[in-house]
Amino acid sequence: MTRAALAILGKDLRIELRTRESVPAMALFSVTVFVLFHYGLDRDSLDGAIAAGVLWVTLLLATVLGVSRLFVTEREQGGLDGLLLAPIDRTAVWVAKAAALLLYLLLLEVVAVPAFAVLLLGTDLLAVLPELVAVLVAADVGLAAVGALVAALAVETRARDLIVPLLLLPLVVPVIIAAAAATEPLLAPAQRPDELGRWLLFLGLYDVVFILVSVAVFDFLLED
Amino acid sequence: MSDRSALTVEAPGAGGVGASEPAIAIEALERRYGERLALSDVSLTLERGLTLGVLGSNGAGKSTLLRVLATLLRPHAGSVRVLGAALPAEADSVRARVGFLGHEPLLYRELSARENLRFQARLHGVAAARVGELLAAIGLERRASDPVRELSRGMAQRIGAARAVLHDPELLLLDEPRSGLDPAAWERLEPLIGRSSGRTRVLVTHDVEAALAECDAVLGLRAGRVEYLGPPDGERLRALFRA
């Protein structure tokens, strides 16, 4: 399975490097939303719960864009049949797609988080960067696991652009709750992140549950 | 004119091409898309080393039959055995031994011919050297690094044919394999996917004359049902399928 997953991941990254259709769109979308919040809220800086909410809702909506495009080369160029005709464990397709989405999310955040700090944040982000990176990675793993599952569910449907957000957003509500709660004290000057470990544990459990669910059901999703 | 009985198509000489199990054994196959019946009561047996032509007009069920045999669609009723393995239960073992060339060449347009074939080689566990051999065989060595989107339809079809035989399959499933190819290009592909390849083949076509020239047996479908099953009888096939 590892050989097949690496081959599919390598192919996806190569195509993304050439087309630049997913990560730049996600990053541009995030920066645009931060600019809109900057003017819409009419505030020079945010902190605490509002800052955490703005950051995570924006990242989540950018994730929807990435999930919608995750199987686009397979759908538009017949590659899905090519994958299904190969004698590989179909879970390798999910592993590769989830890994690709995880990489896209990490790259998105390399752009989006500094943009968020410049456009909206009133606190010093560098002081809490290790903790914030831990929250981002823990949340991204869950988003990638669920996102790859939803993308595979939607790939053969006609209303896939509607189905992806309708399925994905309710499924990732726990991620948003935990990630925003873990991030809130990091973005508030007077708060200490006492409960960070608890929220990271929650995100870790969510990640494990959805990885196991995805591995269990992915084969059936790709059946006709 | 309907002939619903199963026909066993045997290779010349005793025992077929060295295997006890037939290449394809279908019994009362049924396949639906929602409420619409795409294939109904299809039965046939094809011995190894032979070519079965599948004739019929648009919507007759030809491509559906090919996709069932390729493990891309599940049969909804009846039994299907390919190379001795039952579908869908033993689909994994079938995939390693079947090559498929459909309407689309199943290539990624942003990747080159070489990259597409190397990707498929990795999925099939085939040595990278095989990719070079096939690029030479299809005459695309000089364009092997160009993205597929810059190649003509015929060139893409040649790469698709190379993809179909990359893992040296025992059974080839071909859906209009000559489409987009000029005679010279077909001449190059003939040893890979044509009659001289020596492989068992299922060849979907609209063209009665192509079926007569290339096939040992013909299955004619109309609205998902067997209209003709037997040796390539030119007179009957022309009357049935040259409308």
Query: Hey, is the C-beta of A72 within 8 angstroms of any chain B C-beta?
Result: no
Looking only at the bridges linking them, the beta strands covering B225-230 and B217-222 are antiparallel
pLDDT band at A11 (very low <50, low <70, confident <90, very high): very high
> What does the alpha-carbon distance between residue B68 and residue A224 come to, in Å, rounded to a whole number?
10
Checking if the pLDDT of B19 tops 60, the result is: no
Q: How far is CA A189 from CA A49, A89, A123, A181, B126, in A?
A: 12, 49, 6, 15, 58
Among A178-192, B40-54, B57-71, B135-149, whose mean pLDDT is lowest?
A178-192
Yes or no, beta carbons of A224 and B72 under 8 Å apart? yes
Tokens of A35: 């600019």
A83, B123: Cβ pair inside 8 Å?
yes
Residue B15 Cα distances to A134, B20, B224, angstroms? 66, 7, 31
Q: How confident is the model at residue A155 (pLDDT cuts 50, 70, 90)?
A: confident
Any idea what DSSP says for residue A187?
G
pLDDT in tens, A45-62: 888 899 999 999 999 999
The reply to whether residue A86 touches residue B119, judged by beta carbons under 8 angstroms, is: no
Q: What is the pLDDT of residues A85-122, one digit of tens each?
A: 999 999 999 999 999 999 999 999 999 999 999 988 87
Read off the pLDDT band of B83 (50, 70, 90): very high
Summarize pLDDT for B154-210 with one digit per residue, the tens. Answer: 999 999 999 999 999 999 999 988 888 888 888 889 999 998 888 999 999 888 888
Please count the residues of chain A.
224
Distance of CA A170 to the CA centre of its chain: 14
Residues A108 and A30 sit within 8 Å (Cβ to Cβ): yes
In this prediction the pTM is 0.88
Q: Do A81 and B106 touch (CB under 8 A)?
A: yes
Q: Which of B70, B95, B108 sits opposite A77 (nearest CB)?
A: B108
Give the rounded distance of the alpha carbon of B231 from its chain centre.
18
Looking at residue A150, the DSSP 8-state letter turns out to be H
Minimum distance, in Å, between the CA of residue A14 and any CA atom of chain B:
8
Beta pairing, strands B98-101 & B171-175: parallel
Position A199, amino acid: W
Tell me the C-alpha distance between B153 and B144, whole Å: 15
The pLDDT of residue B1 is above 60: no
With contact defined as beta carbons under 8 Å apart, do B101 and B164 qualify? yes
Q: Which of residues 19-58 of A touch B (CB under 8 A)?
A: 19
Tell me, what DSSP letter sits at residue A121? B
Asked if the model's pLDDT at residue A224 lies above 70, the reply is no
3-state secondary structure of A78: coil
Q: How many Å from the N-terminal Cα to the C-terminal Cα in chain B?
A: 15
Q: Mark yes or no for CB contact B122/A7 under 8 Å.
A: yes
Concatenating the DSSP letter of every residue in B13-32 gives STTTTT-SS-SEEEEEEEEE
Note the pLDDT of residue A177. 95
**B127 contacts: CB under 8 Å, gap ≥ 6:** B121
- Mark yes or no for CB contact A86/B95 under 8 Å: yes
Q: What is the pLDDT of residue B11?
A: 45
C-alpha gyration radius of chain A: 18
Distance from CA of A219 to the nearest CA of B (A): 12
Listing from the earlier edge strand, what are the strands of the sheet with B98-101?
B98-101, B171-175, B200-205, B51-55, B217-222, B225-230
This complex has an ipTM of: 0.86
Tens of pLDDT, residues B20-75: 789 999 999 999 998 899 999 999 999 999 999 999 888 889 999 999 999 999 99
